[in-house]
């Protein structure tokens, strides 16, 4: 039986910044978990104030960070190949939550007309130095503007979920594609690590998705989930961090083993540590 079916909520600790605890409440209709209490918008940024928040830095201080950036470089090429395969004619690309801009730089090099959005000033400054152009307000962008809109591990961070999804529908062209990547709380590694699963990452992750969640949320705005793809490396990254949270140290052997088992399990159960969702208008 799934851990969350036995318990309608679980208590999860913020291991990386505040050490506070939060509840995950299960919405049965959408098969969605919500972090509770939700920090107010003026307080939420403080939970990102950590040198260990790796997506906001180009730092390579430790072996773990060095490995992360090696994997990241290879993953970025795969992401650009994916958007090109899903949208045959290269056009306008908006990446929401651009971080330090490396994905957009690669997309630009491969012929895409790029625009980014990034609320974190430190990450944004790193991206600006790489030539990335930003918008300050995605809700002010014109309708039907983009051939592709991407959110790589970003949707779980947004406070106003339904409003955000409606805006994605508004700004993507009728023939365009939305690509969302989020953790999957029904994966083997999530069930194995339970409250220590690093991809819960409370309270920065306000929402925790299943395949049903994404399908129903986008169906509400008359869009259709076309494909679901695994993110193979996420299980290793998340399992390594989960080992640290559970046992106080990062065990590479155990973390890689659980990550491997999670991927094998995903081949049979179709529940991977993180999924990429390809979404189009009906």
What's the CA angle centered on 34, arms 10 and 173, to 5 degrees? Answer: 150
213 pLDDT more than 50: yes
* Phi, psi angle pair for 117, to nearest 5°: -140, 125
Q: What percent of the chain has pLDDT over 90?
A: 79
CA distance 116 to 133: 6
2 pLDDT more than 60: no
Residues 33 and 2 sit within 8 Å (Cβ to Cβ): no
Residues 6+ apart with CB under 8 A from 274: 153, 181, 182, 183, 184, 187, 199, 230, 231, 234, 235, 238
pLDDT in tens, 239-276: 999 999 999 988 889 999 999 999 999 999 999 999 99
pLDDT in tens, 25-81: 999 999 999 999 999 999 998 998 766 544 445 555 555 555 555 666 778 989 999
Instruction: Provide the CATH number for the domain formed by 59-281 in this structure.
Output: 3.40.50.150
CA distance 78 to 63: 23
CA distances from 188 to 4, 77, 243, 244 (A): 13, 27, 14, 18
Cis peptide before 203 (omega within 30 of 0): yes
CA distance 213 to 231: 18
Whole-angstrom Cα Rg for the chain: 18
pLDDT of 89: 87
278 pLDDT more than 60: yes
Exposure string (b/e) for 184-194, b if CB count within 10 Å is 16 or more?
bbbbbbbbbbe
pLDDT of 74: 76
Residues 6+ apart with CB under 8 A from 218: 165, 169, 178, 224, 225, 279
- End-to-end CA, the chain: 35
CA distance 160 to 153: 16
CA distance 258 to 243: 10
The four Cα atoms 119, 123, 128, 133 give a dihedral, to 10 degrees, of: -40
Closest by CA position to 126, among listed 55, 174, 66, 187? 55
Closest by CA position to 145, among listed 121, 111, 175? 175
Rounded to the nearest integer, the mean pLDDT of the chain is 90
């Amino acid at each position: 039986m799934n851990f969350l079916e036995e318990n309608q909520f679980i208590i999860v600790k913020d291991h990386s910044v505040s050490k506070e605890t939060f509840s995950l409440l299960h919405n049965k209709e959408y098969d969605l978990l919500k972090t509770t209490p939700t920090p107010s918008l003026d307080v939420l940024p403080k939970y990102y104030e950590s040198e260990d928040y790796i997506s906001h830095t180009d730092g390579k201080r430790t072996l773990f960070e060095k490995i992360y950036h090696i994997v990241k470089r290879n993953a970025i090429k795969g992401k650009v190949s994916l958007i090109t395969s899903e949208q045959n004619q290269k056009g306008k690309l908006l990446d929401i939550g651009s971080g330090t801009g490396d994905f957009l730089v690669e997309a630009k090099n491969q012929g895409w007309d790029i625009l980014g959005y990034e609320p974190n000033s430190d990450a944004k400054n790193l991206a600006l130095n790489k030539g990335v152009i930003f918008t300050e307000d995605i809700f002010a962008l014109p309708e039907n503007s983009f051939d592709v809109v991407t959110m790589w591990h970003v949707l779980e961070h947004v406070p106003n979920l339904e409003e955000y999804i409606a805006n994605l529908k508004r700004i993507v062209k009728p023939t365009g594609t939305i690509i969302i990547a989020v953790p999957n709380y029904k994966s083997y590694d999530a069930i194995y690590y339970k409250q220590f699963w690093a991809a819960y990452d409370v309270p920065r992750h306000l929402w925790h998705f299943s395949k049903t969640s994404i399908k129903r949320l986008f169906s509400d705005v008359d869009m259709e989930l076309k494909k679901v793809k695994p993110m193979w490396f996420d299980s290793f990254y998340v399992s390594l961090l989960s080992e640290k949270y559970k046992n106080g140290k990062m065990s590479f052997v155990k973390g890689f083993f659980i990550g491997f088992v999670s991927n094998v399990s995903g081949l049979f159960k179709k529940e991977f540590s993180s999924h990429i969702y390809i979404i189009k208008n009906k």
